[in-house]
Amino acid sequence: MESVHIHLVLNHIPILGSFFGLCLFTYGVLFKNISIKNAGLVTFIVVAILTIPAYLSGGGAEEHLEKMPGIHGSIIHDHEEIAEIAFLMMGILGIISLVMFVSFKKDSIKNYLTLIIIILSLITFITMTFVGLVGGKIQHTETYSKAKVSKFLDLKTPDSDDH
């Protein structure tokens, strides 16, 4: 299996996993269910680990796609830039979740970390969603209106003058 296939298989995990973890963790916090809250933390930890091969396979996918006709490097570059930020955020979320899962018996620290995790997981999910949106532009040009997406994200489209 080529890195482009690995990347396509794994790149959905950070998006869906961060959303699933956010839902579990928030539900556990709101309804004071420690088991569900812990399930959310474990979800963030597992998703952070699975984000590593998704991110690392992007380089090989890039090399493969740049050789194909009709693929524009500017979109790949935009995808890569956003992915770097999202990868870092997911890593931080995974580490904070691990720390909270294995330690901190003190309620004041747990409350502080809980708030950080909810905010960070929401921002991470939104960022991962943008990574996927821009990644989809690389080869799935049928999924966007070039005017709307370009204006919204201020990104170049395949039909723009700057190739």
Amino acid at the residue 30: L
pLDDT at 160: 52
Angle 12-30/107-139 helices, nearest 10 degrees?
A: 150
Please tell me the total count of domains within the chain: 1
Domain assignment of residue 74, yes or no: yes
Half-sphere exposure of 135 (CA within 13 A, CB side): 26
Q: What distance in Å separates the CA atoms of residue 56 and residue 12, rounded to the nearest whole number?
A: 14
**What's the pLDDT tens digit per position in 66-98?**
777 777 778 888 999 999 999 999 999 999 999
Query: Within a domain: residue 18?
Result: yes
> What percent of the chain lies above the pLDDT cut of 70?
82
Average pLDDT over residues 15-36: 97
Is residue 37 within 8 A of residue 28, CB to CB? The reply is yes
Lowest mean pLDDT among 20-24, 66-70, 130-134: 66-70
Q: What is the separation, in whole angstroms, between the first and last Cα of the chain?
A: 30
Domain span holding position 17: 3-153
162 part of a folded domain:
no
- Selection from 70-74, 126-130, 142-146, 157-161 with the highest mean pLDDT: 126-130
Q: How confident is the model at residue 2 (pLDDT cuts 50, 70, 90)?
A: confident
Task: Give the pLDDT of residue 147.
Answer: 53
Mean pLDDT of the residues in the chain? 85
Tell whether pTM > 0.75. yes
**Per the domain annotation, does 158 fall within a domain?**
no
Residue 159 lies in a domain: no
Residue 117 lies in a domain: yes
- What's the pLDDT tens digit per position in 46-65? 999 999 999 999 888 888 77
CA–CA separation, 89 and 10 (whole Å)? 17
